[in-house]
C-alpha cells in the first residue's frame, strides 16, 4: 500500500511540474507556454522600434523586441557611448548625456512574474521577457500585454534596485497566446499513458475473468513488479562495481 501511495505522489508531482506556468524560449522574441505560443516577430522591424520614449524617472528609453540595434550620439565620449547591438537602451539627459546598455537580445529569457514585484500590482501575474546588459550591470524586464493595439510604456527604473532593474510595459496583439499543436514529446506521453491504462485495465480484467484471481493477484505480472526494485538495485550496483557486485543470497 505504501508503494502505491509513493508512486501516486511521484506521478502527481510530475504532472504538477509539467503544468507549472512557464514559457520556453524559442527565439529572442518568441516562446511556447502551456497555454499556447507567443511570437512578437510579426510586428518586428529592423533598427530601433521605439526610440527615446520618455519615462517618469526622467530618462528616455529605446527598445526593439526582436532585433538588435545601435544608438549613438556624435557628442558622446567613448565611455558614455554604450548602446551597441542592444535590445534596450537608456538615455540619461543632462549637460553630458549618457547612453547605457540595459539588455541584449542574446540574453532574452521568458518567465511569469507577479506584477506587484514590478510595481504593477493591478496587472496580477504577467508574462515577461527579461534582458541583461553585456556587462551584467543592468537588467530590463518587459511586461508583455495581450491587447488589440500596440503601445510601449517605459515605467523606468525600480527605485533602490541593485543592480538597476528597468521595467517596460509592451502591449501588442502579438503578445496574445496562440493555440499550440501537440509536440512530439506530448504525443509520446499521451501514447504511453494510454498504453499503460490499457495494460493495467486489460491485465486486471484478464486475471479476474480468465484466472479467477482476487486482491493483489489482480495486478498483471505482479511478481515482475514486486521484484523490479531488487532488479534495479542489482543493476545499479553491477554498473557501480563494474560487474564485481554479487547480490546476497
Pull the grid cell for residue 87. Answer: 535590445
Q: How far apart are CA 175 and CA 37, in angstroms?
A: 9
Q: How far apart are CA 192 and CA 183, in angstroms?
A: 14
Q: Which residues pair with 143 in a beta bridge?
A: 128, 169
Q: What is the pLDDT of residue 40?
A: 95
Other C-beta atoms closer than 10 Å to the C-beta of 134 total 15
Q: How far apart are CA 212 and CA 218, in angstroms?
A: 9
CB 142 within 8 A of CB 115: no
Q: Which residues pair with 39 in a beta bridge?
A: 30
Domains assigned to the chain: 22-175 (2.70.130.10)
Q: What is the pLDDT of residue 16?
A: 41
Q: What is the pLDDT of residue 236?
A: 78
- Looking up cell 499543436 gives 181
Closest of 25, 70, 18, 77 to residue 46, by C-alpha: 70
Q: Which residues pair with 128 in a beta bridge?
A: 111, 143
pTM: 0.66
- Classify the phi-psi angles of 43: left when phi > 0, otherwise alpha if psi is within -120 to 50, otherwise beta: alpha
What contacts 52, CB < 8 A, 6 or more positions away? Answer: 60, 61, 62, 91
Rounded mean pLDDT for each run of 10 residues along the chain, 249 residues in total: 40 42 92 91 92 95 96 78 92 88 97 92 93 96 96 95 95 91 69 83 78 76 76 76 58
Q: Which residues pair with 111 in a beta bridge?
A: 128
Q: What is the pLDDT of residue 72?
A: 86
Q: What is the pLDDT of residue 20?
A: 52
Q: What is the pLDDT of residue 9?
A: 41
Q: How far apart are CA 172 and CA 143, in angstroms?
A: 11
**Sign of the CA dihedral with 48 first, then 53, 55, and 58 last:** positive
Amino acid at each position: 500500500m505504501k508503494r502505491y501511495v509513493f508512486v501516486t505522489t511521484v506521478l502527481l508531482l510530475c504532472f504538477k511540474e509539467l503544468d507549472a506556468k512557464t514559457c520556453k524560449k524559442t527565439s529572442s522574441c518568441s516562446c511556447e507556454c502551456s497555454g499556447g505560443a507567443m511570437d512578437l516577430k510579426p510586428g518586428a522591424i529592423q533598427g530601433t522600434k521605439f526610440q527615446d520614449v520618455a519615462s517618469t524617472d526622467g530618462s528616455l528609453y529605446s527598445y526593439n523586441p526582436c532585433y538588435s540595434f545601435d544608438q549613438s550620439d556624435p557628442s558622446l565620449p567613448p565611455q558614455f557611448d554604450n548602446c551597441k547591438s542592444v535590445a534596450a537602451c537608456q538615455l540619461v539627459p543632462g549637460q553630458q548625456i549618457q547612453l547605457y546598455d540595459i539588455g541584449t537580445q542574446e540574453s532574452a529569457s521568458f518567465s511569469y512574474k507577479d506584477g506587484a514585484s514590478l510595481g504593477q500590482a493591478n496587472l496580477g501575474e504577467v508574462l515577461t521577457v527579461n534582458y541583461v546588459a553585456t556587462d551584467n550591470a543592468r537588467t530590463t524586464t518587459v511586461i508583455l500585454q495581450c491587447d488589440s493595439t500596440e503601445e510601449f510604456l517605459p515605467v523606468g527604473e525600480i527605485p533602490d534596485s541593485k543592480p538597476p532593474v528597468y521595467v517596460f510595459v509592451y502591449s501588442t496583439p502579438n503578445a496574445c497566446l496562440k493555440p499550440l499543436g501537440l509536440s512530439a514529446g506530448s504525443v509520446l506521453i499521451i501514447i504511453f499513458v494510454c498504453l499503460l491504462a490499457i495494460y493495467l485495465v486489460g491485465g486486471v480484467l484478464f486475471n479476474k475473468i480468465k484466472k479467477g484471481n482476487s486482491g493483489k493477484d489482480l495486478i498483471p505480472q505482479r511478481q515482475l513488479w514486486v521484484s523490479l526494485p531488487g532488479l534495479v538495485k542489482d543493476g545499479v550496483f553491477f554498473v557501480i562495481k563494474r560487474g564485481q557486485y554479487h547480490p546476497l543470497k
